[in-house]
Amino acid sequence: MRFIELLRDRKPGPVPIWLMRQAGRYLPEYRAVRARAGSFLDLCYTPELAVEATLQPVRRFGFDAAILFSDILVIPDVLGQWVDFVEGEGPRLEPITDAPGLAQLDRERVLRHLEPVLEVVSRVRTALDNETALIGFCGAPWTVATYMVAGHGTPDQAPARLWAYRDPKSFNRLIDILVDSSARYLNAQIEAGADAVQIFDTWAGGLPATEFDRWCIAPIRRLVEAVRIEHPGVPVIVFARGACHGYARIADEVAPEGIGIDTGFSVERARDELQPKAVVQGNLDPLALVAGGDALKAGVERIMEALADGPFIFNLGHGIVPETPVEHVAELVELVRRHAGG
């Protein structure tokens, strides 16, 4: 499996491609499955439907990897926090804002309630051919905590940052719960058949430099160590969006096999500073994919010129957006494969 070999041995060659949030509303076949499921969480917990959603983009575009269809917020849900996804508004949670609020979280529930998701992993692994990798994932403790504390997405993650300043000890207990639950979850995904795992720290960029070590790097390092102890050969990709100043430190201090770069990071810096240390993954602007045409061609060209001679996985710099025309995705795959072929 070329995708996994690349992450293990870092030998440059044909550039694999997959896209963050590749299963989703831009696909008409996803919208049909979504309508059958009722709620978004029902979709995540109904193996038959979640398997279908996972496989749809691979079937349509021939990506080199499938990513498990689930969400980073299943962890608060299985811990016992109330979570819902409101159409057009995004996730809503019953906020946990202080130490007494932590009492409602029950770590014992985690793996039992995640069984349907683990079943999705094993069924997808069976359905995929041997050349297509299956990526498992979870949210990084910091990012998941920002939703648990605010009760929704926030532009500045203020509620979590405030708790962390006011009472770092109890906030750290929340982070501990998330490190522990996420580690068990990732290990269980690997045991069910995931070939690699990705950790999404979508809100890492909101952390001040002084807090970055404590709430981004340290929890991710503990999580990765817990995975490595159980599954030393399984590659880990860390994507810390907006934390460009910290990518080299993540590469040094967490030492993941793959490091995701967001749209804002220069590909030349990624080549010089990150490729010697890890496989780089990224970073086409999702809006260049919406625009298509010259913007798409130029974007792919620039990225491939800088990064394709080193260890590299083509991806977006953040998740694909619902407005993306499906033809543009097919064209992107074609452009990357043509370039990679010489």
137 near ligand CP3, rule: CB under 6 A: yes
* Catalytic residue (choose from 34, 125, 222, 271): 34
Written as six digits, the tokens of 40 are 């978004």
Least separation in angstroms between CB 335 and ligand CP3: 21
85 near ligand CP3, rule: CB under 6 A: yes
146 near ligand CP3, rule: CB under 6 A: no
Number of other CB atoms surrounding residue 298 within 10 Å: 11
| Window contacting ligand CP3 (CB under 6 A); options: 85-93, 96-104, 212-220, 329-337 | 85-93
What is residue 105's DSSP assignment? -
- Among candidate residues 3, 23, 29, 26, the one with its CA nearest the CA of residue 14: 3
Written as six digits, the tokens of 226 are 């817990």
What is residue 257's DSSP assignment? S
CA-to-CA dists, residue 289 to 23, 38, 78, angstroms:
15, 29, 35
20 near ligand CP3, rule: CB under 6 A: yes
Any catalytic annotation for residue 71? yes
Taking every pair of Cα atoms in the chain, the longest distance, rounded to a whole number of angstroms, is: 59
Least separation in angstroms between CB 278 and ligand CP3: 19
| Window contacting ligand CP3 (CB under 6 A); options: 7-15, 63-71, 107-115, 118-126 | 63-71
* Catalytic residue (choose from 45, 147, 185, 247): 147
133 vs 306, beta carbon nearer ligand CP3:
133
What is residue 16's DSSP assignment? P
Asked if 26 and 323 touch (Cβ cutoff 8 Å), the reply is yes
CA–CA dist 26, 169 (Å, integer): 42
| Window contacting ligand CP3 (CB under 6 A); options: 21-29, 116-124, 163-171, 250-258 | 21-29
Any catalytic annotation for residue 25? yes
Active-site annotation, residues: 21, 25, 34, 71, 147
Residues at the interface with ligand CP3 (CB under 6 A): 20-25, 34, 40, 67, 69-73, 85, 90-91, 137, 153, 200, 202, 319
